Chains A and B, each alone.
Chain A
Amino acid sequence: MRSFNAGDVVYLLLAARWTVLLSLIAFAGGGLVGLIIALMRVAQARAARWFAIGFIRVFQGTPLLLQLFLVFFGGDLIGVPLGAWLSVILGLSLNAGAFLGEIWRGSIQAVPNGQIEAARALGLHYGQRMLRVVAPQALRTAIPPTVGFLVNLIKSTSLAAIIGFVELTRAGQQLNNATFRPFLIFGLVASVYFVMCWPLTIAASRLERRLALAYKR
């Protein structure tokens, strides 16, 4: 047992970089998966829609922690040991993809159907319709809930600690094992998360209010 010192605060802050990096990478990965899932969810082909619905149901209906375990051990099982870092990225991306896919499906479907019909009548093909007609309008409704989801994603990265990846929460555990000052250390850890998440929470609700106003007009 040793005492808690200023160097430990620095250690926590350095570990927080991994939380930020993990969140950013998982957001990028989740965004990619989510885009594919959202497009499949609104596709013409029934098989694509069913796949997307099943994907969303499974990832929203089971605990994220088990999803992470399954990716971690699933990699070993098919002979590709992923290690903590890659499994967490893959697991979080798939999970985020399900949630973002569902959010974005809503935004895509909120674009009036007449717009898509008009675009089709004008001879725009699928890519053009989606990119030039649907996306710019869907983006407006998609942004507030996406920012809100980002808060969830940042919090979810703490589960990487259970797999053994050293990010903010894991670093807190290590320090607590050495110094045994749980309130102080986990209080600090929680504050760092709060500083990352709260501005996003506020931004999300501001954006949502602004959007609601825009729709009232």
Chain B
Amino acid sequence: MNYIFHFGDMWNARGEFVEGALMTLRLSGLAMVASLVIAILGALARTSGPKPLRMLVAAYVEIIRNTPFLVQIFIIFFGLPTVGLRLDANEGALIALILNGSAYTIEIVRAGIENISQGQIEGALALGLHRLQTFRLVVLPQALRIIVPPLGSQFILLMLNSSVCSAISADELTSAALDVQGRTFRAFEAFIVAAAIYFALSLLFSTAFATIERLAFGKRISR
């Protein structure tokens, strides 16, 4: 192997990498928050809504989970403009990430809600708690213990998955690496740097989430 690595160009492009990484964090952070909101509504609809609504949510989850994210991005980014909705790449990426993330998050939240046995709810109601109290005092604290740990993993998966948004040239980290690569012809170095940043971010977040879990729930729960 007589290839000489040149990371000088990468150092010169550090601004682009940092900006790309910030955009990746912004996209995944926004998508996570939005999909969590959608997921709570979706999971409630899925578990206690009227039957047509339950089936609709179930169909949505199955369709998203059984098709590739890349194809979903293409449908949104190329499809929506044909019905008059103009999108730039970042908006398209965000919408795709939210729609994709919601499906997975609905399943996480649903698992948390369904894990609480009906007997507990009946017991709480029999003790005279009204529905909101039952939810707040009995269902929620137990559900959170089940929901929060996989949510952390889901965020990291979403962040890594957001690299696929480079296919429509959203300004995130993988696109930044592709730009640097195109300009410097240093493909391997550019992708190694980007991969190292993703790796550092996923380590950072998994450590942070593990700490939060420990602080919030005491002993770490096995998943």
Contacts and interface: CB of A to CB of B under 8 A. Distances in A.
Interface of A: 57-58, 61-67, 69-70, 73-74, 76-79, 151, 155-156, 158-159, 161-162, 169, 172-173, 176, 180, 182-183, 186-187, 189-190, 193-194, 197-198, 201
11 contacts: A66-B163, A70-B191, A74-B188, A77-B188, A78-B1, A78-B3, A158-B68, A182-B74, A187-B75, A190-B72, A194-B63
A90 B3 CA distance: 21
Contact of A169 (B70, B163, B177): B70
Interface of B: 1-3, 62-63, 65-72, 74-75, 78-79, 82, 156, 160-164, 166-167, 174, 177, 187-188, 191-192, 194-195, 198-199, 202-203
Contacts, number: 117
A155 B69 contact: yes
Nearest to A198: B66
Contacts of A198: 62, 66
Contacts of A70: 188, 191-192, 195
Nearest to A154: B68
A207 B115 CA distance: 20
Given A151-B66, A155-B68, 4 more contacts: A58-B199, A74-B188, A158-B71, A183-B75
A67 B62 CA distance: 27
A3 B187 CA distance: 38
A102 to B, nearest CB: 12
A13 to B, nearest CB: 15
Given A61-B199, A182-B75, A161 B188 contact: no
Contacts of B67: 155, 190, 193-194, 197
B74 A176 contact: yes
